[in-house]
Structure 1
Amino acid sequence: MTIATSSPAASTSASEQQEKNRRAIRIWLGIVVLAIFALVLVGGATRLTNSGLSITEWQPIHGVIPPLNLKEWQEEFSLYQKIPQYELMNKGMTLDQFKGIYWWEWSHRFLARSIGMIFALPLLFFWLTGRIEKQLRFRLLGILALGGLQGFIGWWMVSSGLTQRTEVSQYRLAIHLVMACLIYSASIWVMHGLMPARKSAAPARSAKGFAIALFALVLFQIYLGALVAGLRAGYAYNTWPLMDGAFIPGDLFIQHPWWINLFENVKTVQFVHRCGAYLLLTVAFLNMMMSLSSAPNARATRRSLILFLLICAQATLGILTLIWDVPFHVALTHQAGALIVLGFAVAHLRLLVGPYPPEPQEQSRS
């Protein structure tokens, strides 16, 4: 018996097929990323319009179909009228007004279900046709599992506002948004890991460390923003750069125990969110300057400049959202900006880590 390696022509053909498969998976994941981006924006609109509690039941299958006639609309409305939000905030609301908030929440849930299908069905197809490399299988299954968990987290969040509160818990809202961002980031990470390697000058020695720090800070800042949204803290202290007449306002830790202020004190949560923005901007600036000074021609340096400019734009949107008292379109643009910055931070880090290595071609036996 002899063992013969595959011919150069066969090896080239296999490599070309692998690249075609990778390109197809990149396109699929790109569609997933865009869908998640839209989902988070619709979720933000749902939050800004106070629509998130308009559907008071979790029906993963039957809930796909909205009310189709007057009787069904009245049944949905009667369920909403039983929760505290209606009694304390919207008592006297008409059916037409209820429809306005209902459609936001229904759209959010429908889009979430659609993303599950957009992810799961192509994954199954690529897997069964042998287009997914072994090194990707558990990564993609992990993303799918996170998506399923996110559905439960979403209902867990909504249920917190149906009995004693008029809005959902800010803790659960923050977990829900961070989980969405992790799924979004993981999809971008895998997608960019499948891109062909490109030659470039060596990046600055500190580039990878800064990239990790920037990703962590952006994600943490989004978490803080969710706490601000959950407490409606953006509607208070609408001045900048001073807050309540000072750079460091008083009464930041008036609640006991002291740490509870970081989650439940409107002033403290907004102040920490501001400080997080200053820290993120500073780290992005230092990363850019160090990269420009030590590796000006590197591709990673150009990306560090773009990332800094994106963070500057996002900071400007945050300030405008605050001083203009959270107008709908500006606030939603601010949320979109957060996702753009996060996505670019992930892509920047992925560039420094490098793409997935090609899967070795099997040898033929004779």
Structure 2
Amino acid sequence: MSAIASAAPKALDHDRLTPVRIWLYVLAAMVLLIVIVGGGTRLTESGLSITSWRPISGIIPPLSDADWQAEFEAYQQIPQYGLVESWMGVDEFKYIFWWEWGHRFLARMLGVAFAIPFVIFVVQRRIPKSLIWPMAGLFVAGGFQGFLGWWMVSSGLSELTSVSQYRLAAHLTAASVLMMALIWVARMLEPPVIGVKPQRGWVLANWGLVALLFIQIGAGALVAGLDAGFIYNTWPLIDGAVIPGGLFAMDPAWRNVFENMLTVQFNHRNLAYLITIYALVLWWVGRTNPGFSGVHKWLPRIAALVVLQVGVGIVTLLSVVNIPIALVHQGLAFTLISMVVAYLSDMKRLSVR
């Protein structure tokens, strides 16, 4: 994102860039939708229903009974079917297939939605030359995200009955980086605003919030990958204690952070508390300096969304991961980190008053 910011020319025709900004916001919204559908795919245990990666031909779903039978037979060869879903017939298989197919279809459409308008805008010279290659880099990042998705799925096709939580975390955090980059670029192409330039410490403090939220998205992916949200469904205590026993039951100790369901959920909870305190302190300090006017109007919105996200997370836990609530929780996480990035981008393009 910093490379893109440095590439941005000092003077831009902002009216001419309006379609470009709208396009970038639409792409960011598509990433958010893909993340939410991907969460539904994970929660319905649908992610391994398509056992091959065909980037082009895979866009066509099964069209005949023979096609469906072939897909189902391929699914029957993996451990998830043999050890967990052996009760399933073709009709039940179709339900999980459509979740995964829909997730992959949206990802393909994101590539199309990027490539075609990008070429049109370059031909129309709406995109400044200094931004063409950085924006092309966003397309490459989107393609790499597709590769990460298949790398994640492949981890569950031979030995595991679900995908690796490590690869799920890589896939989800990479999606968050892509969405943040799209929002950053879109905001940088907005018209400049007049205001008081914030101190460097204030900017760094908000980047600290981005870092915490990024780590939390990864921690949430570990919870999802281990199905750790389906146990210890009480709050505020976890396993009947503030600090439960068994947090370091695995050896070596580092494995607990990534593989112990109790520790993973404990870390996710406590990181949420830390983020809430951090965001509220930023809000409190920011009331008078820099205040809530101009670009700093993001501050109360960020603080409110953090509190809402924690509330939704608690409800998700107490409901034993009710799927609609869990998807709201995941979507809010991406919305929140994008909101902080938008705030930082707006501060970056402030014209000093």
TM-score by length of 1: 0.90
Output the amino acid matched with 1:185. Answer: M
Residue 235 in 1 paired to residue 235 in 2? Answer: no
How far residue 105 of structure 1 moved from its aligned partner, in angstroms, is: 0.2
What corresponds to 2:221 in structure 1?
226
| Aligned residue in 2 for 1:8 | none
1:88 corresponds to which letter in structure 2?
A: L
Deviation at 1:349, TM superposition (A): 1.1
Structure 1 residue identity aligned to 2:20: I
Q: Secondary structure at the match of 2:238?
A: coil
Residue 332 of structure 1 is matched in structure 2 by 327
Mapped pair 1:303 → 2:295: no
- What is the DSSP-based 3-state SS (H/G/I as helix, E as strand, rest coil) of the residue aligned with 2:109? helix
Q: 1:23 to 1:59 in 2, by over 3 A?
A: same
| CA shift in 2, pair 1:225/1:249, >3 Å | same
CA distance in 1, matches of 2:182, 2:302: 19
Matches within 5 A, 1:1-366: 18-203=13-198, 206-354=201-349
List gaps (5 residues or longer) in structure 1. 1-14, 357-366
Between stretches 292-301 and 190-199, larger displacement belongs to 292-301
The structural deviation recorded for 1:20 is 2.7
1:332 Cα deviation after fit: 0.7
Q: Per-residue CA shift, 1:250-291, capped at 9, x if unaligned? A: 111111110011000000111111111011111101111111
Number of residue-to-residue matches in the alignment: 342
Of the two, which has the highest radius of gyration?
1
| 1:6 equivalent in structure 2 | none
- Residue 298 of structure 2 contacts residue 343 of structure 2 at CA under 8 Å; is this kept in 1? yes
Give the distance between the partners of 2:192 and 2:198, measured in 1 at CA: 15
Task: Specify whether residues 297 and 288 from structure 1 end up closer, same or farther in structure 2 by C-alpha distance, changes over 3 A only.
Answer: closer
Cα pair 2:156 2:163 within 8 Å, conserved: yes
Q: Distance in 2 between matches of 1:191 and 1:277?
A: 28
Shifted more, 192-201 versus 140-149: the winner is 192-201
Per-residue deviation, 1:299: 2.7
Distance 1:350 1:219 in 2: 17
Stretch of structure 1 that moved more, 124-133 or 41-50: 124-133
- d(CA) in 1 for partners of 2:269, 2:100: 29
Q: Following the alignment from structure 1 to structure 2, what is the Cα–Cα distance between the partners of residues 192 and 316?
A: 29
1:120-155 Cα offsets, whole Å, 9 max, x none, are: 111112122322113312221111111111111111
**One-letter amino acid of the counterpart of residue 160, structure 2:** R
CA distance in 2, matches of 1:208, 1:181: 20
TM-score (norm 2): 0.93
Q: Report the CA distance shift for 1:90/1:195 in structure 2 as closer, same or farther (over 3 A).
A: same
In the alignment, the residues of structure 1 paired with residue 275 and residue 71 of structure 2 have an alpha-carbon distance, to the nearest angstrom, of: 44
* RMSD (Å), alpha carbons: 1.7
Offset of 1:93 from its aligned partner?
Answer: 0.7
1:295 Cα deviation from its structure 2 partner = 2.9
- For 1:255 and 1:283, the matched residues in 2 are separated by 31
CA–CA distance in structure 1, aligned partners of residues 17 and 296 of structure 2: 27
* CA spacing shift, 1:101–1:190, aligned 2, 3 Å: same
Structure 2: 5+ residue stretches without partners: 1-9
Deviation at 1:327, TM superposition (A): 0.5
Determine helix, strand or coil for the equivalent of 1:57. Answer: coil
Provide the identity percentage.
45
Pairwise CA distance, 1:204? 6.2
Contact 1:193-1:354 within 8 A present in 2 as well: yes
CA apart distance, 1:79: 0.5
User: What is the distance in 2 between the residues matched to 1:272 and 1:25?
Assistant: 40
- Amino acid in the other structure paired with 1:138: W
Mapped partners of 1:298, 1:201: distance in 2: 10
Q: List 4+ stretches of structure 1 deviating above 6 A.
A: none
